[in-house]
Structure 1
Amino acid sequence: MALPVTIYKANIQLSDLDRGIYETLQATLARHPSETEERLVGRLLAYALLYEEGLVFTKGVCEGDEPDLWSKAPDDRIRSWIEVGLPDPERLLKARRHADQVTLLAFGSKLPGWERQHLDKLINSSNITVIILEQEFINQLVSRLKRTVSWSITVTEGNLYLQDGAETLETSPKRYAQG
């Protein structure tokens, strides 16, 4: 018998002063039994930090050829291809041929080694952006994760402030892109 998915509901007040985006985001996420809570938090953060009109969650883990999130143009061309975690860099290099922009929200316990081995290759490729989040920040969010998520996120001058209940967490993501 297959294990059921776990459903999470999210309400995010987003104030991205750096990009001029002020939105109330609502999302329902399904966490596949093989997906970690860390990865789910990463997908939710990617949705907020990279939000644009038309951005949607894909089948992700269940569909190997799709990213975690994407947005498409009316002609079905992929505008944004977004991955989370530490995927095989060849996957991102292949994706850049099919999308206008590829973005990786990178985090994980093996990040330092992954960074040394793959980061230069990726950031020297056109239309790929890598955003690195501190693992401690992700761990703090995972420890607070509930089935109903209510976050207030402010991004200003490259800093990320996330309010979860009475507590505010802060991090400064590292952003790498060509140019």
Structure 2
Amino acid sequence: MAFKATVYKIELQISDMDRHYYATHPLTLARHPSETEQRLMVRLLAFALNADERLEFGKGLSTDDEPDLWLKERNGDIDLWIDLGQPEPARIRKACGRARQVVVISYGGRSADIWWDKNAEELKRSRNLTIIDIAEATVEALAAIAERGLRVQCLIQDGHIQILAGDSVIGIDPQVRMAPVRAGR
């Protein structure tokens, strides 16, 4: 018997003062049977951090040729490729060759630290790669608010994120492990 995806309907209201982006996104997220609620909520957080009218969820777990999220130009070029977790360096290199900008959002506490320690030197060669780590306690707090029908407000200012859902307030301070060097710096 094949298991079906669990569908989550989420209304995500974003106030991103850092990027001057303010919008409400009605989202439908399908949670693959092998995907945890932690990963689902990190996908939602990734969307909030990079929200754009053209940002889409990829097939993620079900295909190697697509990211978890991506933003494509009208001509089909990939502007932004977002992967979650601890992808293999070969996958990241391939993504860096296909997209203008690649973001990896790692999570998982100690296993994310081990992944970074093992791959940091190789990953630092990529000029269009950003690596962000979300603390394990934060991911657990996000999973605790996961519901199949969810209204979420996301406030972003000075790199700090605040997620509000029902009576829950979750403060998030992502750790940027690596970011592209900007011209002129």
Give the C-alpha shift of residue 71 in structure 1: 1.2
The alignment partner of 2:97 has SS state of coil
8 Å CA contact 1:124, 1:177 repeated in 2: no
Q: For residue 177 of structure 1, what is the aligned residue in structure 2?
A: 179
Q: For residue 137 of structure 1, what is the aligned residue in structure 2?
A: 138
Determine whether 1:72 maps to 2:72: yes
Q: For residue 23 of structure 2, what is the aligned residue in structure 1?
A: 23
The alignment partner of 2:35 has SS state of coil
Letter in 1 for 2:56: V
Give the C-alpha shift of residue 53 in structure 1: 2.8
TM-score, scaled relative to structure 1: 0.95
Q: For residue 92 of structure 1, what is the aligned residue in structure 2?
A: 92
8 Å CA contact 2:80, 2:99 repeated in 1: yes
Question: Once superposed, what is the RMSD of the aligned Cα atoms?
Answer: 1.2
Q: For residue 4 of structure 1, what is the aligned residue in structure 2?
A: 4
Residues 84-143 of structure 1 deviation map (CA, whole Å, 9 limit, x = unaligned):
111112211111101111111111141111121123432441111111111100101112
Q: For residue 118 of structure 1, what is the aligned residue in structure 2?
A: 119
Gapped regions of structure 1 (runs ≥ 5): none
Residues 59-89 of structure 1 deviation map (CA, whole Å, 9 limit, x = unaligned):
1111121100111111111111111111112
Q: For residue 83 of structure 1, what is the aligned residue in structure 2?
A: 83
Q: For residue 156 of structure 2, what is the aligned residue in structure 1?
A: 155
Gapped regions of structure 2 (runs ≥ 5): none
Letter in 1 for 2:166: G
8 Å CA contact 2:145, 2:168 repeated in 1: no
Distance 1:130 1:52 in 2: 20
The alignment partner of 1:52 has SS state of coil
Give the C-alpha shift of residue 22 in structure 1: 0.7
TM-score, scaled relative to structure 2: 0.92
Letter in 1 for 2:167: A
Aligned length: 179
Give the C-alpha shift of residue 145 in structure 1: 1.1
Letter in 2 for 1:177: A
Distance 2:52 2:105 in 1: 15
8 Å CA contact 1:15, 1:23 repeated in 2: yes
Distance 1:120 1:18 in 2: 30
